[in-house]
Amino acid sequence: MFRYFRAAAAIAVLAIISVTGAGKALAQDRRPPASPAELRLSYAPIVQRVQPAVVNVFATKVVQNRNPLLEDPIFRRFFGVPGDQPEQMQRSLGSGVMVDPSGLVVTNVHVIEGADQVKVSLSDKREFEAEIVLKDTRSDLAVLRLKDTHEKFPTLDFANSDELMVGDVVLAIGNPFGVGQTVTHGIISALARTQVGITDYQFFIQTDAAINPGNSGGALVDMTGKLAGINTAIFSRSGGSQGIGFAIPANMVRVVVASAKSGGKAVKRPWLGARLQAVTPEIAETLGLKLPNGALVASVVADSPAARAGLKLSDLIVGIDGQTIEDPNAFDYRFATRPIGGTAQIDVQRAGKSLKLTIVLETAPDTNRGEIVITSRSPFQGAKVANISPAVADELHLDADTQGVVVTDLADDGTAASVGFQKGDIIVAVNNQKIAKTSDLDKVAQASSRLWRITLVRGGQQINVTLGG
């Protein structure tokens, strides 16, 4: 299973490379150690340079201890509801990386999710309270800002993570299991891992450096001390290091941090306006392809950037700006890291011919989102719902013509979460009334009813549910 890290950490990548005048590492400049003496070289200079920019992130939230008997309606009816239940403090521990001298720290969303208070501890043991500037759940990245500071902090600059190569040496610097700062090393085991399933953007750096629970938010850095990635999960059957860890590439981190610096509350990414699907061996055979690679266009939204560029149904996207695309996840990542306002050139195969199409990089229209939280007593209480605008459809990977109202979030203590609603559920009808917009659901939820007949769509499958009032 994949496990998120919960303790402070940072990871550094060391590659034995030469840098050209343009700053690009070339594959032919990498070489193995030439003698036993070279094996005695020390990583200490890199560790000393990276340490000051690596921080610990402490998140706390207050939760109420809920007696399971209180969830039993018979118990509640006969014995009444007791007074306030005792509260408990929950704590999580993770890592962060200073990315701006003013005190901006990047970490994982799951480290600070739901926190009432966040503190950051520096390598020199000083602690600061921090505010959450931006959370991007699609990438599992969050940006914090230290409070009440009047100094410049050491930072890590961004590297071009596309220049990393399998076999590059890596150092892991962190606080696994809370035992104190620790340094381990390994290599980059794989790049562009897309079948991991832990964030919306499936495109990870894989490393075999010893990473353990407690390393969330750690940093991958190159030999110049530049940030190449942020660690987010490990694959483990026991909870300990199995030699398989995953990091979010720096080129995605750069986009999130730039949005935070610009004052945005959400990350703005380009909108393609087309749904893509993977090429299976059967599809590859049908299309006459030698290998099942690329992203196949399954549908195109009218008047979207894809439509205006001339992208058509059954086109096969095989590259973007000169970079090869092996599957839809790779395209999503590459496209999402392109800057708004410019253009991207995609390589397409259509009926055996190669084409180059120019896509304008613009955000999806977010008009008439109508996002609300249902507060009335009903099975939907505590659910945040939205109309399916092009932006919402893009965020949740839905077809733009999807009908209904979608659940975008759930309160932990809400009725909707307790009865089993999930983020991404599309509510189509309630008590035989069609739900076309959020105001329809809000109105239905306010009606007194003993029985709730709900039709929803989850994962493309229609589900009919009946709940007692």
In this structure, which long-range contacts are made by residues 176-180, counting pairs with CB atoms below 8 Å and at least 24 apart in sequence? Answer: 176/7, 176/9, 176/210, 176/211, 176/212, 176/213, 176/214, 176/215, 176/241, 177/7, 177/212, 177/213, 177/214, 178/7, 178/93, 178/214
Six-digit token pair at 20? Answer: 């050209």
Main-chain dihedrals φ then ψ at residue 32, nearest 5 degrees: -75, 165
Number of residues in the chain: 469
What residues are labeled active site? 110, 140, 216
Nearest to 293 by CA among 162, 192, 200, 205: 192
Residue 372 near residue 438 (C-beta atoms within 8 A): yes
Say how far apart CA 390 and CA 427 lie, in whole Å.
17
Place of tokens 């993770």: 94
Residue 12 near residue 171 (C-beta atoms within 8 A): yes
In this structure, which long-range contacts are made by residues 83-89, counting pairs with CB atoms below 8 Å and at least 24 apart in sequence? Answer: 87/62, 87/63, 88/62, 88/63, 88/64, 89/60, 89/61, 89/62, 89/63
Residue 217 near residue 96 (C-beta atoms within 8 A): yes
Residue 299: strand pairing partners: 275
| CA-based radius of gyration for the chain | 25
Nearest to 273 by CA among 372, 122, 159, 399: 399
